């Protein structure tokens, strides 16, 4: 974070201004009578059609597509209603994640309400894994079900369903199968089923393909309501559909946006008893329910049911008709989530320690880290956290005896599934998609896998892809922000995948006040100004930047706009996403770093330094190192003794040592260190992480700066530059 402040090299501030965005924004503002800043966001995101914008800003259940357009929907509802007439036994086969359990709960509850005898089956995350397992087949053969409806799974289960059907034939039984799934099918390897409801099928004419498993279950319920003339009764389940949609990180556009919008309204007004219980145990009261709360407060607790135990509990909670029963289950899941966090943090710390202790990881583009007995329910989350921390694709493996099972997460633009396909001969099994995956491998093959997956990454993964990106919607000035404008921008909610909260850039903001806040000073509060306007800004988890942010100086920042409501008084507040030095200072710092690195490599390039000054990369005074500055620098090192400094700390130290008479910078500081090392009055070496380890020798003899080759060289360059 500190190095990024000075050099802007740890995060990519991604702003591509489309052609004519200003002109398009002006047209939208005139025609829709909306603030210019909102128009800029809409234009930047490709909106131009007025009616489409109105539908987006004002979602309506009237804009749901006809569910009968989904492939095989007619056959599916015919068979389900036939089961009702014949009083047959039906089983819903789901998945253990939030999408799967909400989809299961919706169908179970609705089918019971219309008089169908329905059970459900959720596979165990650890013992069975995703999809239809051997254990599940045995269960289905032992129970006399007439119809099975899958939710959030089944499309890739041809072999297992063939095995199930063969088993049924062997005992002279039959069971119809309806598959509802949102995952990509293999058109040449579709399972045998009475109906397959999936918008990705080749012959599908359904207008929207981004539904999740819960979304498809919701459309199935609506189709049944249409056939049974039950009106809008399907909306009783929209809150569960919204939770599954947000948790599965599908694009919040089109129908998904309507589902989440309507679901949030229902949660605020009359939530499912299970959702109400989760909100209660999480102590969420008296506040607006939004998509962030679904994703980061409710979803982890639901997922904890499957990660730490039996996911069926979540279905029982969502289908319960008793508030006390739902709350009892919610408390169990709340406790499971706390245990999950504890175990997850322990494994994460072990993984970080292993990665940072082994220099091999630093040189490799893909992290493969493993541990004995790591809890399989959390390795996927740990992989996500490691990917975020190191900005590298990551595999986290749990070794049990001779077998390792794990999860993978990727960075944007690197297809983790393709990487696994490249190594497929090493796996027992694997699966996934572009950004995430799972695998089982013999423990003896882990090292071979590490080498081979990095061989693939060396061919396909670029340095730019390994930088986290923050996409910017518009550059702004404080004069553009008002309560009314921010409220207009908030009409773009619900935010999530494919519809992120707008991020704006503010350049050269004056820092009027700064203060670390929070119990341990982890956060930062700033008072910023441009022109005559001032605004409060909150930067969560950025407290460490406080020493480097110049009071009365200037910074650039990225933020999302918010409204602070304190004791009835409302004011504009910036929720900071990133902070760095102004762009011209960053360019100068990069030039000084490049110059220092040339000196560091003993590449005394007089022509480069001279051209750098001529091209205004650096100023002549930036490389003019005088004896007074060296004396100040030496006294500082001698006073504080042996220490280790990284690159960011050197930039900060240079700023600290600057005053009216001495203008220290990174180049001067590092050059001074080299000169002192050359004269043997300070010794430095590199740590395995690439930091500078400084030591002060004992019994130093008097030396002359003129005895330093580097010092003499710099004096020559300065004379040429002047």
Under the banding of pLDDT at 50, 70 and 90, the label for residue 722 is low
Sign of CA dihedral 357, 360, 363, 367: negative
Instruction: Select from 461, 357, 517, 504 the least CA-distant residue to 36.
Output: 504
Give residue for tokens 């989440």. Answer: 260
For the chain, how far is it from start to end, CA to CA, in angstroms? 36
> In this predicted structure, what is the pLDDT of residue 158?
94
DSSP per residue, 377-446: TTHHHHHHHHHHHH-S-EEEEEEETTEEEEEEE--TT--HHHHHHHTGGGEEEEEE-SSEEEEEEEGGGH
Q: Is 572:561 a contact under the CB 8 Å cutoff? A: yes
Which two three-digit tokens encode residue 699?
Answer: 């019994």
- Rounded Cα distance between 214 and 272, Å, is 15
Output the DSSP codes for 141-192.
Answer: HHS--SEEEEES--TT-HHHHHHHHHHHHHTT---EEEEE--SPP-GGGPPP
Q: Looking up tokens 């694009």, which residue turns up?
A: 251
CA dist., res. 430 & res. 417, Å (int): 9
Omega within 30 of 0 (cis) for the link into 437: no
Residue-wise burial string across 366-382, b where 16 or more C-beta atoms lie within 10 A, e elsewhere:
bbbbbbeebbbbbbbbb
Digit-coded pLDDT (tens) for 7-35: 998 889 999 877 788 899 999 999 999 99
What pLDDT, in 10s, does the model give residues 168-220?
999 999 999 999 999 888 899 999 999 999 999 999 999 999 999 999 999 99
Cβ partners under 8 Å of residue 474, min gap 6: 37, 40, 41, 44, 502, 504, 505
Distance CA 123, CA 104 (A): 12
- In angstroms, the Cα distances linking 171 to 87, 165, 167 are 22, 10, 7
Residue 624: other Cβ atoms inside 10 A? 17
Distances (CA, A) of 720 to 614, 712, 713: 11, 13, 11
> What is the predicted pLDDT for the residue at 219?
99
> For residue 515, what are its two tokens?
């203060």
Instruction: Find the radius of gyration of the CA atoms of the chain.
Output: 30
Provide the sign of the torsion angle of the four alpha carbons 302, 307, 311, 317, taken in this order.
negative
Q: What is the mean pLDDT of residues 119-146?
A: 94
Question: Is 435:465 a contact under the CB 8 Å cutoff?
Answer: no
Q: How many CA atoms lie within 13 A of 650 on its CB side?
A: 23
Strand (E) or helix (H) holding 240:
helix 238-247
Cα 309 from Cα 300, distance rounded (Å): 14
Task: Find tokens 């005895």 and name the residue.
Answer: 707
Continuous H helices in 284-322: 291-293, 299-308, 312-319
Token digits of residue 105:
């709960």
291 beta partners: none
Q: Which residues pair with 267 in a beta bridge?
A: none
pLDDT band per the 50, 70, 90 thresholds, residue 616: low
Q: At what angle do helices 98-113 and 299-308 cross, to 10 degrees?
A: 100
Residue 629: per-residue pLDDT: 86
* Closest CA relative to residue 587, chosen from 617, 548, 544, 545: 617
The band of 607, judged by pLDDT with boundaries at 50, 70 and 90, is low
Question: What is the pLDDT at residue 100?
Answer: 96
With H, G, I as helix, E, B as strand and everything else as coil, classify residue 695: strand
Query: pLDDT grade, residue 718 (50/70/90)?
Result: low
Residue 554 has pLDDT above 90, yes or no: yes
Please give the full DSSP string across 655-670, using - where no structure is assigned.
HHH--SS----HHHHH
Residue 240, burial from CB neighbour count under 10 angstroms (0-12, 13-18, 19+): buried
Question: Would you say residue 715 has pLDDT above 90?
Answer: no
Q: How far is CA 568 from CA 268, 571, 572, in A?
A: 22, 10, 13
> Is the pLDDT confidence value at 614 over 60?
no
Q: Determine the Cα–Cα distance for residues 498 and 492; give it in Å rounded to an integer.
A: 12
Mean pLDDT of the 39-61 span: 94
Q: How far is CA 329 from CA 262, 277, 293, 311, in A?
A: 26, 8, 20, 11
Q: What is the mean pLDDT of residues 32-52?
A: 95
CA distance readout (Å), 165 to 63, 140, 170, 216, 226? 40, 10, 9, 25, 32
Average pLDDT score over residue span 108-121: 98
The answer to whether 98 and 247 have CB atoms below 8 angstroms apart is: yes
Tell me, what's the pLDDT at 618?
A: 65
Biggest CA pair distance of the chain: 103
* pLDDT given at position 330: 98
The span from the CA of 340 to the CA of 378, in Å, is: 7
Instruction: State how far the Cα of 264 lies from the Cα of 235, in Å rounded to an integer.
Output: 12
> Quick one: how far is CA 12 from the chain centroid?
15
Reading the block at residue 166, the tokens are: 């063969």
3-state secondary structure (DSSP) of residue 482 = coil
- Find all residues with CB under 8 Å of 64, minimum gap 6, and list them: 222, 255, 258
Burial of 719 (0-12, 13-18, 19+ CB in 10 A): exposed
What is the average per-residue pLDDT within 43-57?
Answer: 94
pLDDT digits (tens, 9 = 90+) for 308-353: 989 999 999 999 999 999 999 999 999 999 999 999 999 999 999 9
More confident residue, 248 or 619: 248
Could you tell me the two tokens for 296? 């980061």
Q: What is the pLDDT of residues 457-500, one digit of tens each?
A: 999 999 888 888 899 999 999 999 999 999 999 999 999 999 99
Within 437-515, residue ranges assigned H as helices are 446-460, 483-489
Q: What is the mean pLDDT of residues 618-633?
A: 80
| Residue 291, token pair as written in the block | 């998509």
Residue recorded with tokens 């702003």: 15
Distance CA 41, CA 670 (A): 44
Q: Is the model's pLDDT at 611 over the cut of 80? A: no
How many whole angstroms separate alpha carbon 279 and alpha carbon 103? 20
How far is the C-alpha of 214 from the C-alpha of 256, rounded, in Å? Answer: 10
Q: Work out the average pLDDT over 564-578.
A: 92
With CA atoms as reference, report the closest residue to 208 among 159, 142, 255: 255
**Which domains are delineated in the chain?**
2-45+473-581 (2.40.50.460), 63-336 (3.90.1640.30), 358-466 (3.10.310.30), 584-721 (no CATH)
pTM: 0.89
CB atoms inside a 10 Å sphere around CB 133? 17
**For the residues 114-136, what does the mean pLDDT come to?**
93
> Whose structure tokens read 């099928």?
201
């Amino acid at each position: 974070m500190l190095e990024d402040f000075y050099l802007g090299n740890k995060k990519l501030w991604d702003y591509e201004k489309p052609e004519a965005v200003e002109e398009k924004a002006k047209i939208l503002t005139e025609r829709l009578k909306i603030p210019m800043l909102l128009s800029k966001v809409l234009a930047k995101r490709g909106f131009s059609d007025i009616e489409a914008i109105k539908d987006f800003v004002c979602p309506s259940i009237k804009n749901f597509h006809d569910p009968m357009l989904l492939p095989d929907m007619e056959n599916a509802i015919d068979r389900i209603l036939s089961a009702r007439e014949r009083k047959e036994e039906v089983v819903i086969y789901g998945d253990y994640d939030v999408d799967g359990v909400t989809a299961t709960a919706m169908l179970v509850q609705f089918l019971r309400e219309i008089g169908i005898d329905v059970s459900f089956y959720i596979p165990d995350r650890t013992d069975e894994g995703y999809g239809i397992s051997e254990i599940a087949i045995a269960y289905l053969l032992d129970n006399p079900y007439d119809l099975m409806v899958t939710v959030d799974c089944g499309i890739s289960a041809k072999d297992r369903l063939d095995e199930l059907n063969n088993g049924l034939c062997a005992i002279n039984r039959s069971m119809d199968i309806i598959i509802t799934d949102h995952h990509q099918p293999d058109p040449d390897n579709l399972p045998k089923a009475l109906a397959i409801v999936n918008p990705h099928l080749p012959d599908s004419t359904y207008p929207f393909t981004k539904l999740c498993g819960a979304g498809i279950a919701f459309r199935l319920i609506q189709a049944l309501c249409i056939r049974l003339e039950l009106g809008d009764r399907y909306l009783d389940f929209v809150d569960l559909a919204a939770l599954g949609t947000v948790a599965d990180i599908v694009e919040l556009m089109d129908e998904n946006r309507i589902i989440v919008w309507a679901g949030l309204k229902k949660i605020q007004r009359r939530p499912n008893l299970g959702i109400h219980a989760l909100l209660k145990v999480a102590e969420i009261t008296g506040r607006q329910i939004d998509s962030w709360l679904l994703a980061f407060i409710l979803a982890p607790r639901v997922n904890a049911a499957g990660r730490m135990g039996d996911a069926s509990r979540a279905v029982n909670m969502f289908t319960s008709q008793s508030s006390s029963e739902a709350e009892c289950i919610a408390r169990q899941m709340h406790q499971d989530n706390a245990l999950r966090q504890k175990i997850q943090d322990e494994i994460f710390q072990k993984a970080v320690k292993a990665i940072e202790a082994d220099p091999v990881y630093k040189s490799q583009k893909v992290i493969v880290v493993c541990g004995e007995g790591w809890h399989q329910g959390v390795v996927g989350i740990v992989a996500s956290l490691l990917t975020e921390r190191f900005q590298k694709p990551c595999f986290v493996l749990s070794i049990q005896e001779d077998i390792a099972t794990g999860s993978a997460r990727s960075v944007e633009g690197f297809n983790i599934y393709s990487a696994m396909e490249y190594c497929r001969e090493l796996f027992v099994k694997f699966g996934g998609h572009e950004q995430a995956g799972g695998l089982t491998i013999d423990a003896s093959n882990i090292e071979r896998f590490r080498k081979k997956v990095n061989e693939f990454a060396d061919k396909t993964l670029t340095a730019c892809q390994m930088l986290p990106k923050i996409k910017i919607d518009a550059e702004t000035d404080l004069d553009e922000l008002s309560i009314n404008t921010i409220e207009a921008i908030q009409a773009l909610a619900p935010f999530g995948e494919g519809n992120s909260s707008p991020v704006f850039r503010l350049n050269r903001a004056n820092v009027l006040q700064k203060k670390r806040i929070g119990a341990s000073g982890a956060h930062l509060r700033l008072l910023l100004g441009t022109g005559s306007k001032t605004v409060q800004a909150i930067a969560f988890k950025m407290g460490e930047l406080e020493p480097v942010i110049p009071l009365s100086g200037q910074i650039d920042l990225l933020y999302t706009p918010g409204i602070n409501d304190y004791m009835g008084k409302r004011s504009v507040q910036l929720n900071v996403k990133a902070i760095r030095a102004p762009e011209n200072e960053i360019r100068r710092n990069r030039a000084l770093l490049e110059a220092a690195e040339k000196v560091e490599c003993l590449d005394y390039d007089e022509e480069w330094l001279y051209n750098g000054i001529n091209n205004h990369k650096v100023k002549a005074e930036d490389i003019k190192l005088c004896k007074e500055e060296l004396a100040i620098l030496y006294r500082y090192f001698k006073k504080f003794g042996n220490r280790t400094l990284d690159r960011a700390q050197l930039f900060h130290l240079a700023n600290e040592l600057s005053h009216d008479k001495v203008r220290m910078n990174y180049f001067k500081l590092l050059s001074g260190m080299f000169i002192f090392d050359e004269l043997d009055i300070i010794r430095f070496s590199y740590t395995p992480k690439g930091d500078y380890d400084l030591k002060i020798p004992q019994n130093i003899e008097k030396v002359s700066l003129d005895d330093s080759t580097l010092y003499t060289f710099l004096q020559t360059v300065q004379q040429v530059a002047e």
